[in-house]
Structure 1
Amino acid sequence: MFLNKISILKDEPNLSNDYPFTIPTINSLTEIELTNNVTFLVGENGTGKSTLLEGIADNCEFNTAGGSRNNLYDVDAAESALGKYIRLSWMPKVTNGFFLRAESFYQFASHIDQLERERPGVLDSYGGKSLHEQSHGESFLSLFLNRFNGRAIYLLDEPEAALSPQRQLTFMRIMHDLVVEEECQFIIATHSPIILGYPDATILSFDHGKVEEIEYELTGHYQITKYFFDHREKFLKELLEGE
């Protein structure tokens, strides 16, 4: 493991009135200790998971639009509002890694195609085929299989967005091999109860206005999914008919 602590610096007055500190969880956050090679960030939309992940990516000098240090392209509204308030503690520091933003992956794929036109051979690091010439899920797996390697840190924002349940299991195996065989570290914001089931990972909940560690079975993702599977007809009747 490389990144072991994330600290939030609040040395300016009245920060709570300014975004992103208007997000309760971000406003209450002072530091996070990382003790695991795989850390999940979970919580409802708008609780600050992506905001924190972008801030970490910014301090790793990854492109906050998605990519590594070497991927220089722009996407609207991809700047990190939290980046300048974050301090990262490393042991040791690594510069290899990648920030995946599912919402801007199309632009990243276009960027790689442009690099291939300028310097043929770039696509070899992505399986030798344009990411645009694959399905969304196939392109994600090509990235994970071919671009991810070595001693590195990977920041993933909703990797399940393009992956079927079966492909989510494939991703888990890829991640496991990278962690065990190549000592990679992952910090992942996800809504997937499948990916969250990765064994022995740390799960940090962003709900209720604070960050706290939570067990897999206590996450809303697990509980709602399990209740739906166990009581599907009752659940749908209550939801759709208000009974």
Structure 2
Amino acid sequence: MIYLREFTFPDEEMEYGFFMSIQRTCYDSFYPFKILSGRGLETLEFEPVTILYGGNGSGKSTALNVIAEKIGVQRDSLYNKSNFYPDFVKMCVLEQALDTPKTSRIITSDDVFDYVLNIRNLNEGIDQKREELFDDYLDAKYSQFQMKSMADYEQLKKVNTARRKTQSRFVREKLMDNVRGLSNGESAFKYFTEKITDNGIYILDEPENSLSPKRQIELLHFIEDSARFFGCQFIISTHSPFLLSMKGAKIYDLDENPVIVKRWTELENVRMYFDFFKRNEDKF
């Protein structure tokens, strides 16, 4: 599915015209101006899956965040915008085949990290609550409690419950479902599968972070199926050779100036993996 057909960033001439029209001289940074134009990136033409590839500082995340801001998708974590950010976004031009679905969102590494951290805090909270419930169980089971008024009714119920049940059952039934079963990588993968639903534009900034190679391949298949069968469009930045190999993906190489489209097997990062394993082929 294609919702967003084309996106154009301001070129160097447009940026120069903008700066000539303003009198601001107190800023030492004009971000995101000069980042993408300096890479020769002017227009992106999208497929159901479009990937931005490039090294650190190549402008991948900048491009994704600008696109997300322009089309108005949901985001969980706040993005640190500069003073010139709204001016830059306003100068961008988009061409849509269909309106942006409300389910659309950008997912960044910060979103995934916050999610994993929340689960970790939740598990720590469960551990603390479990210890409190152990104490409650013992106090209730062996107490000499006698009901004196209706105000004691809840305590009476707790005592009777503790005397009817084992300690483990008493504690288990009062705790929420155990969420500890997932590792950080498994939790990160679960985050993607929960946030990516049918019919939406999904902008993913280096989704391979926290994922093992096995999980990256699972995410690869999940994205392929979502694009093919469930009406989703993806715009992704990644270094992962697994995600770069995605069927039908259009890949822009931001390490080139001007930016050009390449096959995944032509990318420097992928070639480095290939050469490394080729040199060590006899060890397998």
Match of 2:3 in 1: 2
Match of 1:106 in 2: 113
1:45-84 CA-partner distances (Å, limit 9, x unpaired): 101011000101111223xxxxx26x4x646x36693533
What is the TM-score normalised by the length of structure 2? 0.64
* C-alpha RMSD of the superposition: 3.2
Distance 2:251 2:177 in 1: 35
Distance 1:112 1:59 in 2: 31
Identical-residue share of aligned pairs (%): 28
2-11 vs 99-108, which deviates more? Answer: 99-108
1:20 equivalent to 2:32? Answer yes
Task: Please point out which of 46, 69, 74 is paired with 2:57.
Answer: 46
Task: Say whether the 8 Å CA contact 2:7–2:44 is kept in structure 1.
Answer: yes
Distance 1:176 1:129 in 2: 31
Question: Shift of the alpha carbon at 1:140?
Answer: 2.2
Distance 1:97 1:112 in 2: 24
Match of 1:56 in 2: 67
Aligned length: 210
1:32 equivalent to 2:38? Answer no
Task: Say whether the 8 Å CA contact 2:198–2:231 is kept in structure 1.
Answer: yes
Task: Say whether the 8 Å CA contact 2:204–2:234 is kept in structure 1.
Answer: yes
Match of 2:213 in 1: 165
Q: 1:185 to 1:224 in 2, by over 3 A?
A: same
Task: Say whether the 8 Å CA contact 2:39–2:256 is kept in structure 1.
Answer: no
Task: Say whether the 8 Å CA contact 2:39–2:254 is kept in structure 1.
Answer: no
Match of 1:91 in 2: 97
Amino acid at match of 1:57: A
Q: 1:215 to 1:18 in 2, by over 3 A?
A: same
Q: 1:51 to 1:24 in 2, by over 3 A?
A: closer
SS at match of 1:161: coil
Task: Say whether the 8 Å CA contact 2:112–2:191 is kept in structure 1.
Answer: no
What is the TM-score normalised by the length of structure 1? 0.74
Task: Say whether the 8 Å CA contact 1:2–1:92 is kept in structure 2.
Answer: yes
Question: Shift of the alpha carbon at 1:14?
Answer: 5.4
Task: Say whether the 8 Å CA contact 1:25–1:47 is kept in structure 2.
Answer: no
Amino acid at match of 2:202: Y
Distance 1:39 1:88 in 2: 15
Amino acid at match of 2:62: T
Task: Say whether the 8 Å CA contact 2:104–2:202 is kept in structure 1.
Answer: yes
Match of 1:155 in 2: 203
Distance 1:103 1:45 in 2: 17
Amino acid at match of 1:20: P
Q: 1:25 to 1:230 in 2, by over 3 A?
A: farther
SS at match of 2:241: coil
Q: 1:131 to 1:139 in 2, by over 3 A?
A: farther
Distance 2:5 2:178 in 1: 35
SS at match of 1:18: coil
Q: 1:53 to 1:190 in 2, by over 3 A?
A: same
1:209-236 CA-partner distances (Å, limit 9, x unpaired): 3221011111012110000111149xxx
Match of 1:227 in 2: 275
Amino acid at match of 1:184: C
Amino acid at match of 2:9: I
* Residue pairs, 1:109-188, within 5 angstroms: 134-188=182-236
Give 5+ residue unaligned stretches, structure 2: 22-28, 121-175
